[in-house]
Amino acid sequence: DIQMTQSPSSLSASVGDRVTITCRASQSISSYLNWYQQKPGKAPKLLIYAASSLQSGVPSRFSGSGSGTDFTLTISSLQPEDFATYYCQQSYSTPSFGPGTKVDIK
Amino acid sequence: EVQLVQSGAEVKKPGESLRISCKGSGYSFTSYWISWVRQMPGKGLEWMGRIDPSDSYTNYSPSFQGHVTISADKSISTAYLQWSSLKASDTAMYYCARRDPTLQFDYWGQGTLVTVSS
């Protein structure tokens, strides 16, 4: 099975900050990496697929990069509605998720 | 509009059986796999397994194999997750999700909270 790790596990940031979250796979997954946002009490929402493709309707302040084993999700200017938990997920083989990164207000 | 609508919250006792559902609408139900994802209280997301509604072929995570059963009735565009004997450790939120052909989970149900307590 492919194990996914994320760092940091949590971060505090202010509105307008640039935020970067890192995801690492235990083996190469090419670009089969997706990012989701989850707010409390809500279902996850797809943000980025195939490492860098923006899902329809998702603001352009979200971007993804990487390939192989190392990936990043960047929020260029954090907005109040972006405070949430973010998960990476590999779709190279049997799906698996990272442990999540909680973004809260500084 | 694509929607996945899940059945309501359940409260069960250990040893009881349960089946929860996920009804798809707004798309061709047999064209997309449906996965089930568990989220235990305060924890992350765990992929449980998936079904291809066109032929009911299933795959399970080793962590869930033998403990749950995934099925589908394509005539009513509904997928199911069932347990024959619940444990307290099955207490969690369960989500169904549609897998896009490019392999991401693009639509999710609203979740079904299952509480197992004596």
Per-residue pLDDT of chain A (106 residues; tens, 9 = 90+): 999 999 999 999 999 999 999 999 999 999 999 999 999 999 999 999 999 999 999 999 999 999 999 999 999 999 999 999 999 999 999 999 999 999 998 8
How high is the pLDDT of residue A59?
Answer: 97
Nearest C-alpha neighbor of B59 from the set B68, B49, B67: B49
Of B104, B109, B111, which has the smallest distance from its Cβ to A46's Cβ? B104
Strand partners, A88: A35
Strands B10-12 and B112-116: parallel
Strand partners, B116: B12
Residue of A nearest to B108 (CA): A43
pLDDT tens-digit readout, B33-74: 999 999 999 999 999 999 999 999 999 999 999 999 999 999
Asked if A44 lies within 8 A of B108 by C-beta distance, the reply is yes
Distance (Å, rounded) from C-alpha B8 to C-alpha B59?
Answer: 25
A positions 15-74 inside 8 Å of B (CB): 32, 34, 36, 38, 43-46, 49-50, 55
Dihedral sign for Cα atoms in the order A41, A73, B62, B7: positive
**B55 Cα to chain A: minimum distance (Å):** 19
Nearest C-alpha neighbor of B104 from the set B39, B33, B7, B3: B33
Distance (Å, rounded) from C-alpha A100 to C-alpha B9?
Answer: 25
CA angle at residue B22 from A41 to B5, to 5 degrees? Answer: 55
Q: Give the mean pLDDT of chain B.
A: 97
